Amino acid sequence: MRTTEEWDAECEWTDDEVEWYLMGPFDGGVPGLVRRIRRILDVSQRGLAAMIGVSQSVVARWETGRTSPRVSVMQHLLGLAGLGSTVHDADSGEVVEPMRDDGARDRGGRRYPAHVDLKATGWYVPRGLECTPEPARWRRASRARREPLVLHHTSPYWRWLQRRVFGTPVDHPASRQLAAEAEHLDEVREARQQQWRAA
């Protein structure tokens, strides 16, 4: 059993931190994960620090909870130890995946806000052209480029209402999925027009 006298002074831990650590075991949290990784790799704080290019005092601060490694650093540490991580829903236990990287982007190439729900409503036509002969040309061009008109609600109440009725989408659709949705809307409109003509 280690005592405070045997503790490595280069760790830069205070006497209170050493005493608290020696009292364990506790639910380790991030400090415990860093120590677990060190145990799996069979390295000292100095050894782990050398592996990832930080100082030994940084690793010591992670292990006492004074600071925490960034998520990217934590993922790197887990990878070094041959471990992986998943995120689970606290209620259902289901695995929660990160949002997709190929999610739809706006016409400026920017990602849509993560909290909004996207919906294709047809093909893109700039605002203000509704009363001109231009919309048909713009629709044909945007369909050829597969650039649908994508809308989302900025009102939290409207989002809440939509989600109560239709559920919360897991992710933003990819651009190709939104284009397919716009094509489906075209097919539905065409079928309705044929019914009206036949009637």
Tens digits of per-residue pLDDT, 2-33? 454 555 555 666 777 766 666 665 567 888 89
d(CA 136, CA 141): 9
Cβ-proximal residues to 48 (8 Å cutoff; 6+ apart), any chain: 34, 37, 38, 41, 59, 77
d(CA 150, CA 122): 8
Domains of the chain by start residue, with CATH? 4-86 (1.10.260.40), 119-198 (no CATH)
Return the higher-pLDDT residue of 165 and 126: 165
Do 107 and 146 form a contact (C-beta atoms < 8 A)?
no
pLDDT confidence tier of residue 1, bands split at 50, 70 and 90: very low
Give residue 7's pLDDT: 54
pLDDT confidence tier of residue 103, bands split at 50, 70 and 90: confident
* Sequence-ordered strand ranges (E) for 37-169: 87-88, 95-96, 119-123, 148-151
